[in-house]
Chain A
Amino acid sequence: GAVVSQHPSRVICKSGTSVKIECRSLDFQATTMFWYRQFPKQSLMLMATSNEGSKATYEQGVEKDKFLINHASLTLSTLTVTSAHPEDSSFYICSARREGSSGNTIYFGEGSWLTVV
């Protein structure tokens, strides 16, 4: 079964509104989670690294005031797309890092389709 869950799987919002996407690690604690976006037929693009209890680290070119990330607990990170516009429509994916003795394993959520109309 899934070890990282994302919600909602699909959301449609009006231009100018904000949308929140949740990412939960279900059976492990994740001090680090990652947020990606993916356009059709393209690879995943890392947007930011979410660290529990501290500010997220954003990749170059990603607007931190537009894509708000909060990692308030060891099992939950949220991505809020503020003042959404049609060009923000995309597939957003989160992942969580589970630390282990044989290296870290990254588990991904199911993804969230955002459509801004």
Chain B
Amino acid sequence: DAKTTQPNSMESNEEEPVHLPCNHSTISGTDYIHWYRQLPSQGPEYVIHGLTSNVNNRMASLAIAEDRKSSTLILHRATLRDAAVYYCILVPYYGQNFVFGPGTRLSVLP
């Protein structure tokens, strides 16, 4: 079973910020929080990952709760190309096993 829960779908208007939540209440100390997104008929694309501190890169920001039981992927200005399924997964540092949940289908309205 997936160790993360996400809303099935979200909508955003173009040029507006989007906050995609993820709950991972059973996270362990060595689990990294990873976000990927998948466009139709393509493999998932790496977006961002973090352990405890908030992270920023050119694609997005990742805000991690202090207790690490939840996180939020932030797209600062949504574009039509950001419409995709976003997956939040926990990747163990020492292990190999991680499971994809159903993800959040983000629609961006022009």
Please report A residues at the B interface, Cβ cutoff 8 Å: 4, 6, 32, 34, 36, 42-46, 49, 57, 91, 93-95, 97, 102-111, 113
Contact = CB atoms under 8 A, between A and B. Distances in A.
Given A43-B103, A104-B91, A106-B34, A111 B42 contact: yes
A91 to B, nearest CB: 7
Nearest to B92: A104
Given A97-B96, A103-B32, A104-B93, A43 B42 contact: no
Interface residues of B, number: 22
A103 B100 contact: no
B21 interface: no
Contacts of B42: 110-111
Interface in B54-110: 87, 91, 93, 96-103
A43 B43 contact: no
Contacts of B41: 91, 111, 113
Contact of A6 (B34, B36, B43, B102): B43
Nearest to B33: A103
A34 B102 CA distance: 18
7 contacts: A44-B44, A103-B32, A104-B91, A105-B49, A106-B36, A108-B43, A108-B46
